[in-house]
Amino acid sequence: MILPTDLTHIATYKELQEILDSNENVVICCGRMGPMCIPVYGHMKELEESGEYEHVTFRDMAFDNPEAAPIRNHDRCKNFMGLPFTVYYKNGEMVHATSSIQSKEEVVANLNQFLTA
């Protein structure tokens, strides 16, 4: 199950683990193609292309994919009520997570706080 976004997709748990194992800083937007999620995908793609966050790997993953269970069920996410779940990983560990729509400024603030170069 792959989302039709401009981001690089994660489809399986194995791919998720490979991304986390091979990248120090990772942001994954786990959502659907809905009005709360689409803006966040756009912000992430814009930040990825800006060149300011070359130290961060940006990905998406379909929320309804059974393979996304490690994100959906993580302690930082299990009580979230809105999509998308945007999760921030440092050295393979989830260090921050947000739910629902986020502005570009909010995503940037989280990147700067949790995923420094």
Residue range 69-115, pLDDT digits in tens: 999 999 999 999 999 999 999 999 999 999 999 999 999 999 999 99
15 pLDDT above the threshold of 90: yes
> Do the bridges between strand 85-90 and strand 25-31 make them parallel or antiparallel, or are there none, so unpaired?
antiparallel
pLDDT per residue as tens digits for the range 38-54: 999 999 999 999 999 99
Query: Strand locations in 15-114, DSSP E?
Result: 25-31, 57-62, 85-90, 93-99
User: What's the chain's average pLDDT?
Assistant: 97
H or E element, residue 4: none
**Does residue 34 register a pLDDT over 70?**
yes
Question: pLDDT band at residue 117, thresholds of 50, 70 and 90?
Answer: confident
Q: Residue 2 has what pLDDT?
A: 85
Domains and CATH numbers, the chain: 8-114 (3.40.30.10)
Please report the pLDDT score of residue 1 as a whole number.
Answer: 66
